[in-house]
Amino acid sequence: MWTHLVLIATLAFSPPAPRFTDAARRSKLETAFPQIDRILENYKQARGVPGLVYGVVIDGELAHVKCLGVRDRDSGDRVTPETLFRIASMTKSFTALAILKLRDEGKLSLEDPVAKWIPEFAGIRYPTRDTAPIRIRQLLTHGAGFPEDNPWGDRQLGIADSTLTGWLRKGIPFSTPPDTSYEYSNYGFALLGRIVARASGMDYQEYLEKEILAPLGMKSSTLEPYSVPERLRAKGYRKNGEAYAEEPPLRHGAFGAMGGLLTNARDLARYLAYQLSAYPPRDDVDPGPVRRSSLREMQNAWRWMALDPERGSVSGYGYGLVVSRDRRFQHIVGHGGGLPGFGSYMLWLPEYGVGLFAMANLTYAGPATALQESLDALRATGGLQPRVLPPSPELVSAQGAILRLWRRWEDKEAAAVTADNFFLDRPAAERRAEIEQLKEALGTCRPTGEVAPENFLRGTFRMACDHGEVSVSFTLAPTVPPKIQYLKFQKITTHSHEIQ
């Protein structure tokens, strides 16, 4: 009668994907849109922004888009969802995508020395003799040790390739030893653009448009402002006191990979939807243009940036993206952009399926704070909840085994469902006696629900008893089938009993 105790696990481990469980989630989130409108309107007025567009992306759709102000102060033409803004350093994540696509296709490695693709780099003089060759991964994470170069880098957007080559032959000064700290470098992403060109055999702009933008349906986006009809392009402005001055568009050039992309609300919404589509990991068809696993890779913090104890937040840099966590959310991904004439920001919550963006035509008028406040507005609706991970078959099977052991302990059957460490850590007699003591104190116990998984192989559940309640937590071992390696029963009162 105990044969059903054995944990059954297939060799083809196929865990369930997390899912949203609130049927009213979308309608709850939509109630925040009026508040978001007020937040962005206040931002526009406070900063004196001529025009902006912003949007909310939910589950792959542009759920809300709003335009405020003008794209051209002289003509009075209004901003529309089709108006293109320069998104500046938000371009960096597109460059990272290009690098990762080439990596996934086996055309380069993130561990390649930069000198492999940029011969002029072989002559770079490092700050210390023990410095290892700078690699592509360090450029992606701002870890090459180049000087922080805002706002100098912004003005280099349109330089010729020959100019960049000349600079490389002269060398690059270092502000820190490579791979020892975070130091934001537009120069480094300009070099990544050159690597994309060398590894792909085509111009960076051509590669980005053909291999990244076109497959994503971002048909209006471009790196060259003068290729856009004037009626579709937001003019950039600088504000001096109460006076506005138009900023002439910077042409695409050798630094374009660090900040040259122009896009509109509909295209940028597609981009956020694509990044959000990387979560959760699952067995669905992976349509590309870059692997979902690579999107998740770039949304990890690979280099620490800052710790803010007052706000309870920590941030790091992924590949062309800032990754952070705070008291509200464990995983926030985004990036800002600022160039003469423009300020923009995008952010998303991978585990929540929600993202926001805003683009403005005023120099360095980044709307990051406004979008963070908008997140708070979404959170206040109660609809901003993460996906819930269903319990895996292995956890369900283990829960059943634990309940049967609780009701009737037999050493032979306990040995069948536990890993080899279990009784070495604590003798069977001692474990059995401890359970009996709990049962005597609590009376008859019944599970109150299914396992609440922490991951595929660790979870908790509760039992309601005649004289109290018990919390049960357990972890399965990395064996096939996965067996119980850790088990803890805790009485929900002032005392706890543990089986380790």
| Residue 165 counted as domain residue | yes
What the block records as the tokens of 197 is: 């060109």
Q: Which of 133, 115, 122 is nearest to 198 (CA)?
A: 115
431 and 299 within one domain: no
469 and 364 within one domain: no
Query: Residue holding tokens 């609130």?
Result: 22
272 and 349 within one domain: yes
* pLDDT tens sequence across 428-475: 999 999 899 999 999 999 999 999 999 999 999 999 999 999 999 999
The three-state secondary structure class of 228 is: coil
Confidence check: pLDDT of 4 > 70:
no
314 and 210 within one domain: yes
Q: Among 11-15, 87-91, 221-225, 307-311, which stretch is predicted with the lowest mean pLDDT?
A: 11-15
CATH of the domain at 39: 3.40.710.10
| Domain termination site, one of 341, 360, 387 | 387
Mean pLDDT of 209-227: 98
**Residue 13: pLDDT band by 50, 70, 90 thresholds?**
low
Q: Which of 412, 283, 423 is nearest to 2 (CA)?
A: 412
| Residue 496 counted as domain residue | no
417 within 8 A of 6, measured Cβ to Cβ:
yes
| Domain termination site, one of 368, 387, 406 | 387
| Residue 241 counted as domain residue | yes
Q: Could you count the other beta carbons within 10 Å of the beta carbon of residue 155?
A: 12
Confidence check: pLDDT of 498 > 70:
no
Q: What is the pLDDT of residue 14?
A: 77
Query: Residue holding tokens 């460490």?
Result: 421
Average pLDDT, the chain: 95
Confidence check: pLDDT of 203 > 60:
yes
CA distances from 40 to 46, 301, 406, 437, 493 (A): 10, 29, 57, 61, 48
What the block records as the tokens of 305 is: 């940036």
Helix/strand number for the chain, H first, E second: 16, 17
- Rounded Cα distance, 197 and 165, in Å: 14
| Residue 497 counted as domain residue | no
Q: What is the pLDDT of residue 12?
A: 55
Q: What is the pLDDT of residue 7?
A: 45
| Residue 201 counted as domain residue | yes
| Domain termination site, one of 387, 416, 441 | 387
407 and 325 within one domain: no
Confidence check: pLDDT of 500 > 90:
no
Q: Classify residue 368 by burial, with Cβ atoms within 10 Å: 0-12, 13-18, 19+.
A: middle
What the block records as the tokens of 127 is: 């700050």
404 and 352 within one domain: no
Beta-ladder partners of 70: 78
Report the domain count for the chain: 2
| Residue 133 counted as domain residue | yes
420 and 305 within one domain: no
Distance of CA 413 to the CA centre of its chain: 44
- Rounded Cα distance, 149 and 153, in Å: 5
- Rounded Cα distance, 316 and 111, in Å: 20
Q: What percent of the chain has pLDDT over 90?
A: 95
CATH of the domain at 422: 3.10.450
Query: Residue holding tokens 């044969």?
Result: 3
245 within 8 A of 237, measured Cβ to Cβ:
yes
456 and 379 within one domain: no
- Rounded Cα distance, 148 and 336, in Å: 16
Compute the CA torsion angle 258, 263, 265, 266 (nearest 10 deg).
-120
Q: What is the pLDDT of residue 398?
A: 98
| Residue 499 counted as domain residue | no
341 and 413 within one domain: no
398 and 383 within one domain: no
pTM: 0.93
446 and 351 within one domain: no
**Residue 15: pLDDT band by 50, 70, 90 thresholds?**
confident
Confidence check: pLDDT of 281 > 60:
yes
362 and 486 within one domain: no
Compute the CA torsion angle 349, 350, 355, 357 (nearest 10 deg).
90
* pLDDT tens sequence across 241-255: 999 999 999 999 999
Confidence check: pLDDT of 105 > 70:
yes
| Residue 13 counted as domain residue | no
Q: Among 122-126, 137-141, 200-204, which stretch is predicted with the lowest mean pLDDT?
A: 122-126
Domain of residue 111: give its range.
23-387
Q: Which of 135, 131, 155, 154 is nearest to 143 (CA)?
A: 135
